[in-house]
Amino acid sequence: MKKHNFYAGPSVLPKKVTKETAKALKNFAGTGISLASISHRSKEFDEVVIETQDLFKELLDIPEGYSVLFLGGGASMQFAMIPYNLMKSKAAYVNTGAWASKAMKEAKLFGEVHEIKADDFFHLPKNFDLPKDIDYLHITTNNTIYGTEYKDDFDVNVPVIADMSSDIFSRKVDISKYAMIYGGAQKNLAPAGVTFVIIKNDILGKVDRQIPSMLNYQTHIDKDSMFNTPPVIPIFAALQTLKWMKAKGGVEAMNKKAIEKADLLYNEIDRNPYFVGTVAKEDRSLMNICFVMSDAYKELEKDFLEFTTERGMVGLKGHRSVGGFRASTYNSLPIKSVKALVKAMQKFEESHG
């Protein structure tokens, strides 16, 4: 049976990416050695890192003065590295949910945190005032659990740090408006295991504290992400994804498809009396579409999950903290999977009407 993969992460990758990675695991770049066994210092893998950095810069139109790093530890490691390297005394954090809350928790170990928050996580904070004495503003652009997303770049007079784990490469971003962008790769880019960091070089070196080598961004810039053994297989897979995106038309094409998939599903949620969206319409994510059974049909939630599972759909159960359903429509998810879900919603309505 054809599977439709709606998992929030690790998530669906293009078939071409998994095919090329599997091939490299047997024989990498004609070396006769598995990608899993190749030296990260080899000429062949060095070329992979360079090409991956170059494609990052090309597809995101990254200006001069920024470095692209590939690190371990996930975005969660960045929650601590950011204040370690950048917070002198105070920072502002926009709290949009679980991941932003975790980032704030780490930042409080290094200084004062000014929290910005809406009344609930189903709305995004907007038009807020910033203290004048902050070192940076931290935002999480897409909330995978609640299904909200900032779709426009922030334009403020302080350095902006953005966790873009789950919406990177899904829309055009003006990199120059950010001091740093980072994220785990396991949503729109690669298998779990590598974290990307896009960092403006001149924001570093301004804190007085001593920073351990592995937690110092300058260490990894100086060594081109090779200070220690990097996550070789996920970096290779990321390169294949970037090549796939470029061949498909780049970020602009990804955004067009993301809007098309989201519109299809949101329109059905709004039309179908059995379902209701959970997020304010103006804040709806293009990547993580969250919805629940409407009040009159709450008892049918388990039935609908079974109904979709029978039709080859996986990963639709909402996060345990909010319940309901979540369809993650990352770049690699084919539109036919969204159409299959919409059809299942319509069939479910018909069978219970």
In the chain, what are the domain boundaries?
Answer: 15-248, 250-352
**pTM (2 d.p.):** 0.97
Identify the CATH number of the domain defined by range 15-248: 3.40.640.10
Please give the average per-residue pLDDT across 170-175, as a whole number.
98
pLDDT over threshold 90, residue 169? yes
Q: Which two structure tokens, joined as six digits, stand for 275?
A: 């379902």
Q: What are phi and psi of 19, to 5 degrees?
A: -65, -45
Each residue's pLDDT tens digit, 17-72: 999 999 999 999 999 999 999 999 999 999 999 999 999 999 999 999 999 999 99
Which are the catalytic amino acids? 99, 163, 187
Residue 321 pLDDT grade (very low, low, confident, very high; cuts 50, 70, 90): confident
- For residue range 68-99, list pLDDT tens digits in order: 999 999 999 999 999 999 999 999 999 999 99
- Give the residue-averaged pLDDT of 134-161: 97
Q: What's the fold here for domain 250-352?
A: Aspartate Aminotransferase, domain 1 (3.90.1150)
**CA–CA distance from 243 to each of 11, 18, 198, 347 (Å)?**
18, 13, 19, 38
Q: How confident is the model at residue 235 (pLDDT cuts 50, 70, 90)?
A: very high
Instruction: Check pLDDT > 80 for residue 305.
Output: yes
Q: How far is residue 230's CA from residue 249's CA, in Å, rounded to a whole number?
A: 29
Q: Are 159 and 179 in contact (CB under 8 A)?
A: yes
* Share of residues in the chain with pLDDT > 90 (%): 98
Average pLDDT, the chain: 97
Task: Write out pLDDT tens, residues 97-139.
Answer: 999 999 999 999 999 999 999 999 999 999 999 999 999 999 9
Q: How confident is the model at residue 1 (pLDDT cuts 50, 70, 90)?
A: confident
Tell me how far CA of residue 160 lies from CA of 34, 64, 75, 82, 86, in angstroms: 40, 17, 16, 11, 11
